Every structure is written in structure tokens, then in C-alpha cells.
Structure 1
Amino acid sequence: MSEVSVAALDLELLRTFQAAAHLGSLAGAAEQRHRSVSAISMQLKRLEDVLETRLLERGPRGVTPTAAGESLLRESRELLRLHDGMLARFTGRGLGGKVRFGLPEDYARELLGDVLPDFMARHPDVLLEAFTATSGELARQLSHSNLALAVLLDRPQRLPGGEALWQTSPVWAGPRLGQLTEHFSLPLALHSIDCPYRDLAVESLDVIGKPWHAVFTSTSIHAVEKAIEAGLAIGVIDRQRLTPSMRELGEAEGLPALRPCEARLYLATQIEQSSRPAVEALAALLRERLFERGPWRAEALR
């Protein structure tokens, strides 16, 4: 009986495709994969030939996945996770130790859906604990070495050191319907103290002498967003978090411009020696996925 020829997927081609799709650039993928741009282009062409479909659209600003590419991005991510996890378990080459990672709740959904599952698949023997809080609270926890590493915004206080990851885009957000900005005292939905966007909102309104009062205060970004959508108040959120039930407000409504914040990566000054390789591995993955892009692109590509 003759064997049926079946095309096989090269995992290295899938890794190159993942890099190009995440970074949006062949040059970026070449740097990450330690290959030339022409080699990256050839690998992507080979993958498209094997699958007999176009996976990436090339343009002056880089590359973006096609509909087929987006499907492959999701499915190949899971395939690579399974492969890397199995390899680590059977070869004993996986890292160990414990990593306590802090991040603002605003970015938890994106990081939990993309970066952290990939890290856990690559290093199944690492005990990972993720902790969400305001940037001010994360800074305190990090300074006491209660966290091994954290991503936090450079307000209300900026820790020494750290590495810049991306610039945030804070905007005033109000409900789709209603004119809350016409009130003498502006109704606000705010986070509790130590939140960078609370500081931005309050400071910018104080500068122009606009009265305000807190209608709703919560530690949860989702609760703040619900308060905005329900028409209770306006607030400051990342532009990427605007929903169809919200609209962006600004100077036309008499609101002051908001300065961007910077998301930075920090490592604790004291890290257990047995856990340091795992901490550095997670830091490297965060740099790879978030530098100059933030978590939003990864979320959009899933």
C-alpha cells in the first residue's frame, strides 16, 4: 500500500509568522529571530505556499494578517504552546522557581489572554502569580520586593530605573448620549487613590478651575466603564477601551487636553536566586510583546 503524502508544517516557519504578525514588521521579526529580512520573507513565502493561502498583507507601514492569517495566528499559538510545554517537561530544560508579577487591571485582560499563557506553556514548572492593583500600589509592593517584577505607569510616582514599554493614550470618555459636561460641577467616575488616570483627571480640571465631584469611585476599571456607559459620569480611560456606548470628549466640550503616561517594566531589587532566570524570562517576553506597542495589538490579533 502506498503512503499518502501529507504536507507538514515547520514549527520554525510558524514562529517566524507569529513574530511578524505580532511586531507588524519583517524587520522587527528579523531582529527577534536573528535572521536577515530576506530570510524572513522567504520563510513566510514558504509557509504561504504550504498552506496555499495569503497570510500577511504587505504595506508601507508593515504587515498585517489577512483573515486566514488571523485564524492561523490563533491556532498556531496554541500549537506552539503545546509543543514548548511538552518539550520542557520531557527534556527537563524548563525553568523553575516562583514569579510574582504585578500589573494594572486595565491591561490584565490583554496580558492574561496573550503573554502570560505563552510564558506558562514555555515554562510549566514555574509558579506564576499575577497581581493587579493601581500603579501606586504596585510601586509600593515592588519597592518592598513583594513582587518580582511589574508593569506600571509612571504616575502618580515614578520609581527609579525601569524600562519604557509603551506610551498610553488617555482620553476623556462620556456616555454616547447625554451632555454631562454642561453641568456646573463635572460628575466623574474615578479610580481610588494612587491611580495615574485619577491624577490626570483631577489635576487637569484643577488647572482650568473646573469644579468636579466624584459620582462613582471604584478600584475596578470595568466598574468605572459601566458607570460611564450608564450615563452617571465621565472619566479618563485609554482610547482603546472606548466602547460603542461611549464617546470621546475633549476641547469642544470644554475639557482640557490630557498628557500621555508611560508604561514601564520594573524588576525588584531583591529576587530569589532560584527564581531569577524565570523572572528574567518573563521580562524578556514582556519586552518582546509590548515594546512600543502595548498589549492592544496582541488583543486585536487574537
Structure 2
Amino acid sequence: MSEVPVAALDLELLRSFQAAAHLGSLAAAAEQRHRTISAISMQLKRLEEVLEIRLLERGPRGVTPTAAGEALLRESRELLRLHDGMLARFTGRGLGGKVRFGLPEDYARELLGDVLPDFLARHPDVLLEAVTATSGELARQLTQSNLALAVLLDRPRRLPDGEALWQTSPVWAGPRLGRLAERPSLPLALHHVDCPYRDLAVESLDAIGKPWHAVFTSTSIHAVEKAIEAGLAIGVLDRQRLTPAMRELGEAEGLPALRPCEARLHFATRIERASRPAVEALAVLLRERLFERGPWRADAMR
């Protein structure tokens, strides 16, 4: 009995598709993959022909995945993780060492769901420890070399050097219903000290002489968000974190404009020699995924 021919997926086609979908641009994917734009375009066309389905919508501002493309993005990511992890284990070419990586809690969900699992799949022998804290606390830990690498905002303490990754979009967030902004003293939900957005909120309110008081204080971004949704207070969040139970507030409610912060990538001054290649590999992946767009992939590809 003769075998029925079955279409096979070329992993290189999947890698080019992943790059184009993540970066939202064929030119950016070509640069990352060290290929020409026409070569990337041909690879994507070939992948669509093999699967007999349209994966990307082309437009003047770049490319965005179709519904089928989104599904393939999820499944191919797992396939490539398994492949790269197996290759590293059996060839012995994987990196080793330990990496202690710091990141603000506000971005942990996105990075833990995408970037860090990809890194561990590529380098399964690396001992990765991710630590969340406020940017001020992360800056302290980094200067003491308790962290090897960190992404942190440039407030309230800007460290020298570092590499710019993306600009944040802080906004005043209030509950969907209610008029908390009209109260004589503005009720706020805040993080503890060393939080960039606490610093930003207090500084901007003090600058216009707007009275305020803390109704809710927590180290947890999720607790702060719940306090806002429940109608207890107003807070400062990244615009992408607004939920259907919240609404953006601004000058119409008498609140001052907020300046963006800058998320930057920093290395510790002292990194163990055995761990440095792994630290640099994680930095490369963070640059690829976060530069000029941050962790909000869905927004980045609009």
C-alpha cells in the first residue's frame, strides 16, 4: 500500500511568520531574520499555500494576523519551543548559568505569558528567576547586583546608562460609574513608595494644588485595579490596563495631564562570567519583543 503524501511544515517558514506577526512589519522581520524583504514575503506566501489559508492581512502600516493567523501564532510558538528545547538538550549547545531578572508587576502577565517561556524553551538549562517589584525597588536590587538584568521605568529613580525600550501611556483611571473626581479631596488608589505612577500622580496633583488622599494602598497592581473598579478611588494605570469597569479621566474632570515614562533595560555592574551569555541572550529577546512597542502585542500590531 502506497503512503498518502502529507504536507509538512517548514520550521523556517514558521519562524518568519512568528517574526512578521510579532513585529507587524515585513521589513522588521527581514532585519531580525537576516533576510531580504522579498525572501520573507515569499516564505509567508509559501506557508499560506501549504496551509491553504490566509494568515496575514497586508496594509499600509504593516501586517496583522487574521483569526487563523492568531491561532497559528499560538500553536507554532509551542511547536518551536518544543523543537528548540529538544535540540538544545540533545546537542548540548544550550546555554547554562543563572539569570535573576527583574520586572515591574504591571508587565509581568504579558512577559510571563510570552517572552520568558520562549526564552526557557530555547535555553532549558538556564536557571531563570523572575522577580517583580516597583521600579524603585528593582533599581536598588540592580545596583547591588542582586539582579543580573531588569526592565524598569525611569521614575522615581533614573539609573545611568540603560537602553530605551518603550514609552508608557499613563492615564487617570476611574470607575465606570460615579464622580469621584468632583470631590474636594481626590480619593486615590496607590502603590507604596518607589512606584513611578504613584510619583507621577502625586507630583502632578501637587503641581496644580489639587487636594488628594490615599483611600487604598497596596503593592499589588491587581488590588489597585480592583479598588478602582469597585468605585473606591481613582488611580494611574497604563492605558492598556483599563478594563470595561473603568473609564479614562482627564482635563474634563479637572485632572492634570500625565507625562509618559520610559521603560529601560539595565544590566547589573557585576554578572557571573558563566551566566553572562544567558543574560545577554535574554536581553536580545527582550529587545526583539519590546523595542518601541512594549509588551502589549495586540496594540503593537494595530
TM-score range for the pair, normalised by the shorter chain length:
over 0.9
Instruction: Classify the secondary structure of the residue corresponding to 1:3.
Output: coil
Per-residue Cα deviation, 1:134-190 (whole angstroms, up to 9, x for no partner): 000000000000000000000001000000000000000000000000100000000
Per-residue Cα deviation, 1:183-227 (whole angstroms, up to 9, x for no partner): 000000000000000011000000000000000000100000000
Instruction: Classify the secondary structure of the residue corresponding to 2:5.
Output: coil
| Contact 2:17/2:44 (8 A) holds in 1 | yes
TM-score, normalised to structure 2, is 0.99
Equivalence for 1:192? 192
Instruction: Classify the secondary structure of the residue corresponding to 1:273.
Output: coil
Note the residue ranges of structure 2 that are not aligned, 5 or more in a row: none
Q: How far apart are the structure 1 equivalents of 2:223 and 2:109?
A: 14
Q: How far apart are the structure 2 equivalents of 1:91 and 1:262?
A: 40
Give the CA deviation at 1:300: 8.4
Instruction: Classify the secondary structure of the residue corresponding to 2:96.
Output: coil
| Contact 1:110/1:299 (8 A) holds in 2 | no
Q: How far apart are the structure 2 equivalents of 1:267 and 1:252?
A: 42
| Contact 2:293/2:300 (8 A) holds in 1 | no
Instruction: Classify the secondary structure of the residue corresponding to 2:243.
Output: coil
User: Are 1:286 and 2:257 an aligned pair?
Assistant: no
Equivalence for 2:228? 228
Give the CA deviation at 1:294: 0.3
Q: How far apart are the structure 2 equivalents of 1:217 and 1:50?
A: 54
Give the CA deviation at 1:298: 5.8
- Map 1:1-302 → 2, pairs under 5 A: 1-297=1-297
Q: How far apart are the structure 1 equivalents of 2:3 and 2:185?
A: 77
The letter for the 1-side match of 2:81 is R
Q: How far apart are the structure 2 equivalents of 1:231 and 1:298?
A: 28
Instruction: Classify the secondary structure of the residue corresponding to 2:69.
Output: helix
Q: How far apart are the structure 1 equivalents of 2:120 and 2:33?
A: 21
Instruction: Classify the secondary structure of the residue corresponding to 1:184.
Output: coil
Instruction: Classify the secondary structure of the residue corresponding to 1:165.
Output: strand
How many residues in Structure 1 have an aligned counterpart in Structure 2? 301
Give the CA deviation at 1:3: 1.2
Q: How far apart are the structure 2 equivalents of 1:298 and 1:218?
A: 28
Per-residue Cα deviation, 1:35-94 (whole angstroms, up to 9, x for no partner): 000000000000000000000000010000000000000000000000000000000000
The letter for the 1-side match of 2:193 is I
When the two chains are superposed, the root-mean-square deviation of aligned CA atoms in Å is 1.0
Give the CA deviation at 1:297: 0.9
| Contact 1:113/1:299 (8 A) holds in 2 | no
Q: How far apart are the structure 1 equivalents of 2:96 and 2:19?
A: 25
| Divergent runs of 4+, >6 A | none
Q: How far apart are the structure 2 equivalents of 1:45 and 1:251?
A: 48
The letter for the 1-side match of 2:146 is N
The letter for the 1-side match of 2:105 is E
Per-residue Cα deviation, 1:90-127 (whole angstroms, up to 9, x for no partner): 00000000000000000000000000000000000000
TM-score, normalised to structure 1, is 0.99
The letter for the 1-side match of 2:161 is G
The letter for the 2-side match of 1:269 is T
Q: How far apart are the structure 1 equivalents of 2:178 and 2:169?
A: 24
Instruction: Classify the secondary structure of the residue corresponding to 2:231.
Output: coil
| Contact 1:84/1:122 (8 A) holds in 2 | yes
Q: How far apart are the structure 2 equivalents of 1:21 and 1:193?
A: 38
